[in-house]
Amino acid sequence: MTAKRILIIGGYGQFGSLIAKALAPEKNIALIIAGRHGDKARKFAESLDSSHKIETIETDIQTGLPE
């Protein structure tokens, strides 16, 4: 079964972090944590209880998502 990719924009913020924490332990989900500060996204992703790698993306409304 292919993992479903879920992008959480603002994933390390108050609301986004709750969603990320709830989804991190799930099987067959590939999480992507995005936000304006890549270092915060990476640090938060490393703190999650997950058996799989969580991707991070640094982005904001001015620059858009990387290709």
| Angstrom distance (rounded) from CA 8 to CA 49 | 16
**63 within domain boundaries:** no
Number of structural domains the chain divides into = 1
**67 within domain boundaries:** no
**12 within domain boundaries:** yes
What is the predicted pLDDT for the residue at 50? 85
- pLDDT 10s per residue in the chain (67 long)? 688 999 999 999 999 999 999 999 998 899 999 999 999 999 999 999 888 889 999 988 776 666 6
**65 within domain boundaries:** no
**64 within domain boundaries:** no
CA distances from residue 32 to 44, 66 in whole angstroms, order as listed? 11, 13
**54 within domain boundaries:** yes
Q: Which domain holds residue 14?
A: 4-58
